Every structure is written in C-alpha cells, then in structure tokens.
A and B are shown apart, each in its own frame.
Chain A
Amino acid sequence: MSDGERVVRGALPVGRLVGDFLGSSVGAKVIMALTGVVLWSFLIGHLVGNLQIFQAPDAINGYAVFLHTVGHGAALWLVRAALLGCLLAHIAMGMRLTALNRAARPIAYAKKKRLRTTPAALWMAASGVLLFMFLAFHLAHFTIGLVDPSSFGLKDAEGQMDVYKMVWIAFKNPVVVVTYVVAQFFVLSHLMHGTASLWQSIGVNHGVWTPVLSGVGKAIALFIFVGNLAIPVVILIAWGKP
C-alpha cells in the first residue's frame, strides 16, 4: 500500500504529522469535537456561576472578585487564553469544512428531502456565526463595558466590583433582554446537534452508551438554555430591586 499523497505537508516531521491530521477532514472533525467540549463545559460553568445572581448581591460580587484574584489574577487570564484558543480553532475548522463541503456539491438538487438529519444540524454554520456575533456583543457588554459604560465598573458598599447591579441595570432594558433571549435559541440549536454528535466524531459509537451520552448532552443543553433565559427574564419582570 503506498503511503504517499498527504493532504498537508509541513517541513518538520512533527509538523507534518500534526499538519496531516489537522489538514484532513477527520482531524478537523476531531478538533471541532474536542474544542466544542471545552466551550460547552465553559457554558455550564458560566451558567452555574451566574445563577448566583438570584442570591444576595454579595454572592456574585464575591464570586467575581474570586475569579479575578485566584492565582494572583493569573488563573483568569490562563482560562481566557485557553478558551480563546479553543474558540479560534473551532471557528477555523468549521469555516474550512464548510467551504470544502460547499465545493463538494457544486450543483444543488432541484428537490431534496430531509431524511434523518435535524434542522439544528443543518443550521450549524448559521447558528455558529450568529453565536459568534452575540459573543462579541456579550463581551462588549459585560466584560469590556462598551455597551453601557455608566453601569460598568461600579463598586458595592464593600468596595467590590458590583456585578449584581450591572446585570440588574442591563436586564431592566427590554431591548437588551430580547437580544439575550434570541441568542439563547442559537445556543440551544448549536448545542443540540453538537453535544449529541461529538461522540461519533471522536470514534465513540456504542449501541447503548452513545444514545445515553447524547441524551445527557441534550439535557444539559436544555438546562443551559433554561438557565440562561431565566436570568434576563426574571430580572425584567421582577419589581423593585436594586
């Protein structure tokens, strides 16, 4: 069997091995699955942390201080860098595969039925792009403070950063709430396919366990959806505070 013809060639042997794998469509798939798992785990952690908004202001403000100070502030940046790396790899592979796949069928069918796939699976690229746009807005809003600078960088009575107040002010604005609610549908759609299909991508297919794992994935996706929706919606309809 000739072992010739590689898809990508690098100069160094190691570079070539890695390059071959990343350059192949199976490699791209594996990278998308693995980086997807990291990003998905982040969404779970993000939500669980944020649910502290429903406790006294001290809880989430203290949590924010903890995130910013743990490991002398280095941990936060390490995690951010890792997430950014995963995000960029995920997007790069997704874009490459999408382009290849478009090219693989230059002439479309006049009539095409959907047999077994789901709308969520067919809209992965679209939901991914929309998610990315939302992410940019979300970071500009709560991480960088560009959207509403007046509510950003507030301090509470103890001199801690007042995340609690910032979030409450943000979600008293119906326009902002609608943006977040709509975005959650893209998150749900993207996760519904991603979490169910990642096992297959890394070569795990078991008659019993794969459906169970996929089911658990979808359940977690729903939990993320409901939890993320709850924050803006509850704040919008709650009276009074802060």
Chain B
Amino acid sequence: MSTQKNMNLTLQVWRQKSKRDAGGFKTYQAKNISPDQSFLEMLDVVNEDLIAKGEEPIAFDHDCREGICGMCSLFINGAPHGGFPGTTTCQLHMRHFKDGDEITIEPWRAKPFPVLKDLIVDRTSFDRLVQAGGYISVNTGGAPDANAVPIPKKDADLAMDAASCIGCGACVAACPNASAMLFVSAKISQLRHLPQGEAERKKRALNMLNRADQEGFGSCRNHFECEAACPKDIPRRVMAEAYRDYIEASALREE
C-alpha cells in the first residue's frame, strides 16, 4: 500500500458520439482516487459517477488489464499510455499523479485509426497489415515435434524481442507522421529470424510495407518516438531489418 493520500483530479476527456460526430473535450472531476488504482480503474470510478447521474459513461478500450492484450489505448497528457517506460495504460498507476493534477485524455490520432466513440479507435487496419504477410504459410498435417528445428539462442532472442509486440498502436499514436513502421517491422522481425519465417521473408516485407502505405499510415522519418512510446520496448533495430528486407526484395524481384 502506498502512503500517498487519495487525490482529486480534473480530467479533460475527448467525447465523440460516433464516427461522424465532430467531438470535443469535456471536463470531469475524478474524486477520491487512490494512488493504488490503475488509470482504467480511475476511469471506472468516473464512469460509475456518470452512470449514477444518468449521463453516458466514457467509452474506452480495455480487456486484459494486465499489459498483454494491447486493447487499452489512451493518449494521456500528450503521450500514448502516458509516456512511462514499458507501461500500458492499464498498468499505469495513479501514484504517478498528484492531487489537483489536470489530465488530458485523447484517442489515438491517425487516419487509419478512425474514432468510433469517445476514446475508442478502430484498429482493424492493423489486422489487415497482418493479413498482408504477418504469418508463415504451413500446410496442415501433424504438429511437428517441438525442437525438431533447432534455433540458435541468439536468433530466438531476436525473434522474441519483436514478438512481444501486443499490437496496441501506441507507436502510430506517438509518431509525428502516424507511421505504423514499428508495428509492421516487429511482425517482420519476429518471423525473419526463424527458419519457418525465412522462406517468405522478402515477400512479407514487400507486402506488409506496401499495405501500410495503402492503409494511409505515414512514412517513417526516424524520429523514434515509437520506440520511446512502445510499452513493450520494441527496438528501432526491427525497422532497419524491415527496410533491408524491403530493399532486397525490391532489387531482386523476379517478375
């Protein structure tokens, strides 16, 4: 239990009825918030209040609330997930705030992430990116033996670094250009270091990165805001790997 006292906060929250509604900020008071609550629990308290008053509660995405599903997606005080290292919104605790603080809460902002309601954005563009190549093609059949394909520890580690991406979209939200490069590259990197993913390495880079352009994500200009904002600390290395595969694929494409 923390020794910090409960606090009262002022929230500036983006409210938007539907995709077509223009939306705007509304001010709310969050009263008697415990420093041990998570950011989402704080919003639950505010919503209880709103429901009691007969008002529409604030809509926000969440699911696991333990930092693994990638659903929570709030732009808090100018940074995705609040901008704390390695922290998702659901794992952000109120002890990081002080009594009397004003907190601005916005949805992710990007053309391929249209706002559905309040703080909820539609991230199906990420699904389409994965459909474009974020997989390996395997024919059905018996499950192969575990460890049938030996993978050096170093390669497994590189793949695992990238595989920890939870698809939250904070990278896009943080990027000055709303580029999805870190997310796409995390998928590319995760597969390219494994023998199962090697076969489709070039095609994958080509298809996924082209898809990102088509979805209307911006282009990377090496600001690395994504790397700083990523709750899973996906490193910028994965993007260089994706460019490498893309360049190689473009240079060697046989058609």
Contacts and interface: CB of A to CB of B under 8 A. Distances in A.
A124 B219 CA distance: 14
Contact of A115 (B133, B137, B225, B250): B225
Contact of B176 (A24, A122, A197, A199): A122
B255 A13 contact: yes
A121 B207 contact: no
A108 interface: yes
A24 B209 contact: yes
**Chain B interface mostly helix, strand, loop or mixed?**
mixed
Interface stretch (B65-73, B102-110, B142-150): B102-110
A6 B250 CA distance: 12
Interface residues of B, number: 58
A109 interface: yes
Contact of B223 (A103, A116, A204): A116
A155 B30 CA distance: 79
B111 interface: yes
A124 B177 CA distance: 13
A2 B203 CA distance: 9
A27 interface: yes
Interface string B129-144: 0000100010000000
A104 B110 contact: yes
A111 B82 CA distance: 12
Interface string A109-147: 111111111000110100000000000000000000000
B111 A103 contact: yes
B240 A204 contact: yes
A100 B104 contact: no
A25 B219 contact: yes
Interface centre among B12, B243, B244 (most CB of A within 10 A): B243
Interface stretch (B2-10, B45-53, B91-99, B210-218): B210-218
B178 A105 contact: yes
B219 A29 contact: yes
Given A105-B177, A121-B222, A30 B237 contact: no
Contacts of B221: 29, 97, 101, 121, 124, 197
A205 B110 contact: no
Contacts of A202: 243, 247
Contact of A20 (B203, B220, B247, B250): B250
Contacts of B58: none
A3 B207 contact: yes
B109 A108 contact: yes
B36 interface: no
A237 interface: no
A101 B224 CA distance: 15
B42 interface: no
Nearest to B212: A25
A29 B220 contact: yes
Contacts of B223: 116-117, 121-122
A17 interface: yes
A200 interface: yes
Contacts of A116: 223-225, 227-228
A205 to B, nearest CB: 3
Contact of A200 (B14, B25, B218, B236): B236
Interface string B236-255: 11011111101100100101
B228 A203 contact: no
A97 B112 CA distance: 17
| 10 closest residue pairs by CB, A with B | A205-B240, A104-B218, A25-B219, A203-B244, A113-B78, A117-B223, A101-B177, A197-B222, A115-B228, A116-B228
Given A13-B255, A203-B243, 10 more contacts: A1-B133, A1-B203, A1-B207, A6-B210, A21-B250, A24-B246, A26-B246, A110-B14, A113-B79, A193-B222
Interface of A: 1-3, 5-7, 13, 16-17, 20-21, 24-30, 97, 100-101, 103-117, 121-122, 124, 193, 197, 199-205
14 contacts: A1-B204, A5-B214, A16-B255, A17-B255, A29-B243, A30-B247, A101-B218, A104-B112, A104-B216, A111-B77, A113-B79, A117-B224, A197-B221, A204-B240
